[in-house]
Amino acid sequence: MCLETSFMNKAHELLASFKSRFGTGASVCRAPGRVNLIGEHTDYNDGYVLPAAIGFSCWVGIAPRVDRQLILFSENYGEVHEAGLDELGVRGSGHWADYPLGVAWALQEAGYRLRGANIDIAGDVPLGAGLSSSAAIEVSTGYALLSAANHTIDRTKLALLCQRAENEYVGARVGIMDQFVSCHWRAGHALLIDCRSLEYRPLRIPAKVSLVVCNTMIKHKLQAGEYNVRRAECEEAVRKLSGALPTIRRLRDVSLEQLVQNRSLLSETIYRRCRHVISENERVHEVADLFEQGKTEGLREVMAASHQSLRDDYEVSCQELDAMVEIAGRQRGVYGARMTGGGFGGCTINFVDVEHATEFQQRVSEEYESAIGLRPDIYICEASQGAELVETTAESLPRVSR
């Protein structure tokens, strides 16, 4: 089944369950998860990233109410949560509803007056797999809340407000990549994003390359805490280096040469963190150049260098991710493999020749299971579209501009 048909089917399923739960029609908004092709832990250093939206999404059915209550139902958790728009507070409570409520909070903080609404949420982005289920729920809810209140917003602004929700309401200091690509992307392309200027450029993924995502099925609890630690280490590096390099604002502004010259200002660990970020920014451009020329030669080395740098310098890989990358590297038709996302478990991204993708899926699955003892989920992805209104049986139509 093509993605478009499966999206329409999902929208109709959600409309049917919305009707049986709330008794009315609804608008359905969708926002996708993403896989990052290269540029890991560079976004919060004002650097570059190259993600693509994938076929897994979060779907939000919404219909306005006359009062100021939000009645949220999660199809995934089978649970209702209720909150008043005027009593959202400034901090979540560690519940799944923090994501949609955080977005409502951030939109109101930015001056958008929202309406109470009945909301039904269904996601198929694998949770905790590093494919950005959080951004998908944030963006689809944001889009839905705005449409129910008849507001217009530009997509970059929506992405920034969703990031604010996650940073301040949920409490994870993530960069802008996930929300940005969930808002902006189009089919068949990856998005080269400059995370400082927020300028972006769609790059066509070479036609013979399939994006294959391998889920290690490992979710390490370390992730949230260690993510914030890495971010703090990068900020400390900038403070220490700025004595010698007064114009720098983030690691984006430091070259490898400058880093080496000022090595004595940094501890060994922080020096390695910086080396990862600075070299990873260069690798993003290398992959972008290859994509622009429609080339696959050279991808393998760049992807391997990225994985190695994340493993040894940034220290966010784990045994299962390393095993998955190593197994992938031995298969036929592979143009490159590395871990993707925040790390400490989750997925790898593999560039695989379209002709070999199914064989790759089978073999990697068998070899990983016999090495690690877990059966991995392996997805052959299509780079999908960004956030959109899918279907409506309600009267209000969203007006979200590009």
Q: How far is the CB of 16 from ligand GLA (least distance, A)?
A: 33
Segment 201 to 240, residues that bind ligand GLA, using CB under 6 A: none
Q: How far is the CB of 246 from ligand GLA (least distance, A)?
A: 27
Q: Is 154 a catalytic site residue?
A: no
User: Interface with ligand GLA includes 180 (CB under 6 A)?
Assistant: no
Q: Which one of the spans 37-45, 104-112, 143-151, 260-268 is the region binding ligand GLA (CB under 6 A)? A: 37-45
Is residue 241 within 8 Å of residue 233, measured between CB atoms? no
* CA dist list (Å): 94 to 39, 61, 170: 29, 23, 7
- Residue closer to ligand GLA, measured from CB, 203 or 277: 277
Alpha carbon 293 to its chain centroid, in Å, reads 26
User: Interface with ligand GLA includes 253 (CB under 6 A)?
Assistant: no
Segment 312 to 351, residues that bind ligand GLA, using CB under 6 A: 341-342
Of residues 10, 30, 41, 184, which one binds ligand GLA by CB under 6 A?
Answer: 41
Of residues 11, 43, 96, 237, which one binds ligand GLA by CB under 6 A?
Answer: 43
Q: Considering the candidates 46, 98, 120, 178, report the single residue annotated as catalytic.
A: 178
- Residue closer to ligand GLA, measured from CB, 44 or 105: 44
* Token pair belonging to 15: 């409309």
User: Interface with ligand GLA includes 178 (CB under 6 A)?
Assistant: yes
User: Interface with ligand GLA includes 47 (CB under 6 A)?
Assistant: no
- Other C-beta atoms lying within 10 Å of the C-beta of residue 244: 12
Q: Which residues pair with 395 in a beta bridge?
A: none
Positive/negative CA dihedral, 223, 227, 233, 236: negative
User: Interface with ligand GLA includes 303 (CB under 6 A)?
Assistant: no
3-class SS shares of the chain: helix, strand, coil, % to 5: 45, 25, 30
* Token pair belonging to 142: 């944001």
Q: 201 by DSSP, 3-state: which?
A: strand
How many residues are given for the chain?
A: 402
Nearest CA to 271 among 256, 252, 284, 249? Answer: 256
Q: How far is the CB of 165 from ligand GLA (least distance, A)?
A: 12
Q: 339 by DSSP, 3-state: which?
A: strand
Q: How far is the CB of 398 from ligand GLA (least distance, A)?
A: 25
* Footprint of ligand GLA (CB under 6 A): 36, 40-41, 43-44, 174-175, 177-178, 341-342
